Amino acid sequence: MSSQMDSAAIARVAHEVNRAYCASLGDHSQPSWEEAPDWQRKSAITGVEFTIANPDATPSDSHVSWLAEKERDGWKYGPVKDPAKKEHPCFVAYNDLPVEQRTKDYLFQAVVRSLT
Distance CA 112, CA 15 (A): 11
Whole-number pLDDT of residue 5 = 84
**2 pLDDT above the threshold of 60:** no
- Structural domain boundaries of the chain? 7-115
Distance CA 62, CA 51 (A): 7
pTM: 0.90
Percent of the chain with pLDDT over 90: 94
Whole-number pLDDT of residue 4 = 66
Provide mean pLDDT across the span 17-46: 95
Whole-number pLDDT of residue 28 = 92
Whole-number pLDDT of residue 1 = 39
For the segment 88-115, what is each residue's pLDDT rounded down to a tens digit? 999 999 999 999 999 999 999 999 999 9
Distance CA 24, CA 16 (A): 12
Distance CA 105, CA 84 (A): 24
Provide mean pLDDT across the span 62-87: 95
Over the Cα atoms of the chain, what is R_g?
A: 14
Provide mean pLDDT across the span 56-73: 96
